[in-house]
Structure 1
Amino acid sequence: MSKLIATTFLTLDGVYQGPGGVEEDTSGGFDQGGWVTPFYEEGMQELATEWISGAGAFLLGRRTYDIFAAHWPKVTDPGDPLASRLNGLPKHVVSRTLSSSTWANTSFVGGDVVEFVRDLKSRPGREVQVHGSGALLQTLIAHDLVDEYRLWQFPVVLGKGRRLFPDGVTPKAFEHVETRHTAAGVNVLVLRPAGKPRFDTFRLVAE
């Protein structure tokens, strides 16, 4: 079976909206896009390259697909480790309106995405990686389809914007796998689902 790996950028207050540019995602009046760019440095690309080497396919939401499709097909250097995989591997794009693409190896999922992903995961193969795609990722989280999270936490708080785990989300516990750090102060948490949270109360121990 293939594992589904979720990779996403988050602020300290859990916002995933518009990380890459001021005009990337202004929906809902969001005007604080581009919060990742000031923290970009070589270590980020090295880590992204390491992890993308495990990909066998990509699952993308419509907004992330539009951003990727506008850039990566133009990167034609076969020695580029990110472009070679993003351009060469299968890309499954969840969209109710698109049905064709000029980006090679792209197909569209217009039906029940939950059933599609369950079938995709049941097939033998390497990782199915979800990059960004916040709205799609929330659906996958709600149906317990994510096997591992790679959460890039940036040292910034925005106070508004779409959050990956909004109010009302089903409570979940996670197992810590590892933590990576970049020179610019980004912490990358690798987590795996661990069922429901446990609750207890601290008790004073009498001497």
Structure 2
Amino acid sequence: MARKITGAAFVSLDGVIQAPGGPTEDPTGGFDQGGWVFKLWDEGINETLGTLFAGDYGLLLGRRTYDIFAAYWPYVEGEEAAMGEAFTRADKYVLTRSDASLDWDNSHRLGDIDAVAALKQTDDPDLVIQGSSTLYPPLLAAGLIDRLILMTYPVVLGSGKRLFGDDTRAGQLEMTDHRVTDKGTVIATYRPGGALPPYPPFGPKPSTSDREAERQRRMKQGTW
């Protein structure tokens, strides 16, 4: 049986997923709201994460998220030590063009999307994506993501790396589950729903007014 790939992401209302875990996690691009998830921590998230990381799993990561995790989780102490040990035991598959060392225990390099597709056909535990915004456009385009769990916080961050970048193809998602936590975080689970349907015959027809024709002309000229 093929492995399933689940993408699980903390998201702001304006689609930002950058540096949810701490102020120094990823301040690139001048992002100054690092750790925003913990500024707004919600106990309902613990339940979702507890279910997500119960049992056996592998991690599918982009190179930068791998670097963040590898510099933190093997060394964490206190209440988070158990999660650090679990992440260290888990197989970690890193989609990267870089040949830089992957020296965290149980780390494996994947050179391209075809390697992810081949990995998905093996019988080992299912895979979970954490962070790694660069993975979503190519994996969705290749039909390799089976499930998305989006934990959308009631916050607007204004700037930062988005979950779905400009290279993401248009497509539908089908909601399979949802809940709203006590603090207003929406936890929604989706599965890919295929291509968007064509524009329906009952949709509004384009205006034929002279004013609309002028607006269309200005758009083509780049002056609108």
Aligned counterpart, 1:138: 137
SS in 1 for 2:36: coil
Distance 2:83 2:161 in 1: 27
Aligned counterpart, 2:116: 117
Inter-CA distance 127–81: structure 2 relative to 1 (3 Å threshold): farther
Q: Unpaired segments of 5 or more residues in structure 2?
A: 205-224
Quote how far apart the aligned CAs of 1:85 are.
2.9
RMSD (CA atoms) = 2.5
Distance 2:77 2:109 in 1: 23
Aligned counterpart, 1:66: 67
Distance 2:40 2:70 in 1: 23
Q: Larger % of strand: which?
A: 1
- TM-score under structure 1 length normalisation: 0.84
Cα contact 1:100–1:107 (8 A) shared by 2 = yes
Distance 1:26 1:84 in 2: 26
SS in 2 for 1:170: coil
SS in 2 for 1:36: helix
Cα contact 2:137–2:168 (8 A) shared by 1 = no
Distance 1:130 1:197 in 2: 25
Query: How many residue pairs end up in the alignment?
Result: 200
Aligned counterpart, 1:129: 128
SS in 1 for 2:57: strand
Bigger radius of gyration: 2
Quote how far apart the aligned CAs of 1:144 are.
2.1
Quote how far apart the aligned CAs of 1:14 are.
0.9
Query: Which stretch shows the higher mean deviation, 91-100 or 182-191?
Result: 91-100
**Deviations, residues 97-149 of structure 1 (Å, cap 9, x unaligned):** 42331x2211223x22x011100111123311111111123321232211100
Cα contact 1:55–1:129 (8 A) shared by 2 = no
Distance 2:186 2:165 in 1: 21
Quote how far apart the aligned CAs of 1:54 are.
4.9
